[in-house]
């Protein structure tokens, strides 16, 4: 059985226009979706002792994701981020990192992590200083850089990363290959760049693979990139050809756009008490 653990960030995506909130966060979403795509999965992170934290933990339990090493932090709220739709466009509002960034890995955590094939984490997880420790306990690390293009940051994290995900939607298409080569030079064996509706590219140090998006009626794009990453990682660990893994990942991302929230479990909320 393929084993994947998401380590680090979580949040509650709070849809102001719907007055609903959903469990989310890059590392958490990848763990849940990897489980749905056939992996054995776990999540290791921190939540507050509040309604948002309980929403996250209950959803993970229902999905069969192992949360045995999660922390519930007293006196610190669970992370949240507001999502609004203005003139048809998704806009992010207020947010709070809360307990999500407080994870300090123990030797027990690292021993637990070593039982997995792959750790997935992200720029939102505040684990940069702990990546080297994680590196010594797992075969693969995948890392989501979001849209971060600062080379100083790449120097800090990418030497410890095997699979790097990044959004290059803000980069001119003519410069995309140069960015793939540059990112690869910092350490990752596989670099995957996404550009929203324009598709995704993978560079494995030798060849570039292009994967177009799969047409779908879009309801909500939040979590589509996490679905792409989760499905790719499951197929990658299963030994499937890279082009097939990319194709399946694009299909997973498209399917994820057909509902609100990254993986469901929407809950009504009082707009005055997010």
Residue 122 backbone dihedrals phi, psi, to 5 degrees: -155, 175
Strand ordering across the sheet containing 267-268: 89-96, 80-86, 11-15, 20-24, 267-268
Q: Report the chain's C-alpha Rg in angstroms.
A: 18
Q: What's the rounded Cα separation, in Å, for the pair 118 and 162?
A: 10
Q: How many C-beta atoms lie closer than 10 Å to residue 147's C-beta?
A: 11
Tell me, what's the pLDDT at 269?
84
Q: CA 173, 174, 175: angle at the middle one, nearest 5? A: 90
pLDDT at 273: 56
pTM of the model: 0.95
Look at the domain 3-264 and name its fold: 3.40.1190
CA distance 186 to 202: 16
Q: Which of 171, 100, 140 is nearest to 238 (CA)?
A: 140
Low-confidence residues in the chain, pLDDT < 70: 85-90, 271-274
pLDDT for the residue numbered 91: 77
Place of tokens 């095997």: 162
For the chain, which residues make up each domain, given as ranges? Answer: 3-264
* Alpha-carbon gap, residue 178 to 155, rounded angstroms: 17
Q: How far apart are CA 103 and CA 20, in angstroms?
A: 27
């Amino acid at each position: 059985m393929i084993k994947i653990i998401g380590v680090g960030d979580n949040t509650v995506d709070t849809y102001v226009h719907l007055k609903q909130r959903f469990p989310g966060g890059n590392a958490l979403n990848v763990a849940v979706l990897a489980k749905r795509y056939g992996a054995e999965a776990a999540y290791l992170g921190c939540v507050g002792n509040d309604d948002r934290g309980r929403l996250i933990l209950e959803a993970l339990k229902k999905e069969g994701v192992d949360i045995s090493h999660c922390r519930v932090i007293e006196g610190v709220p669970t992370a949240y981020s507001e999502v609004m739709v203005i003139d048809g466009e998704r806009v992010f509002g207020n947010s709070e990192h809360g307990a999500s960034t407080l994870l300090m890995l123990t030797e027990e955590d690292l021993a637990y992590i070593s039982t997995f094939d792959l750790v997935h984490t992200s720029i939102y997880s505040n684990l940069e200083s702990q990546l080297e420790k994680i590196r010594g306990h797992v075969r693969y690390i995948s890392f989501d850089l979001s849209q971060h293009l600062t080379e100083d940051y790449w120097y800090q994290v990418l030497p410890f990363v095997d699979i790097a995900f990044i959004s290059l939607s803000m980069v001119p298409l003519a410069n995309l290959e140069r960015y793939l080569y540059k990112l690869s030079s910092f350490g990752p064996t596989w670099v995957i760049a996404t550009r929203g509706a324009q598709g995704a590219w993978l560079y494995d140090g030798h060849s570039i693979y292009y994967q177009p998006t799969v047409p779908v009626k879009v309801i909500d794009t939040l979590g589509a990139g996490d679905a792409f990453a989760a499905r790719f990682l499951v197929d990658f660990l299963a030994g499937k050809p890279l082009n097939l893994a990319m194709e399946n990942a694009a299909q997973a991302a498209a399917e994820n756009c057909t509902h609100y929230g990254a993986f469901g479990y929407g809950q009504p909320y009082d707009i005055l008490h997010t």
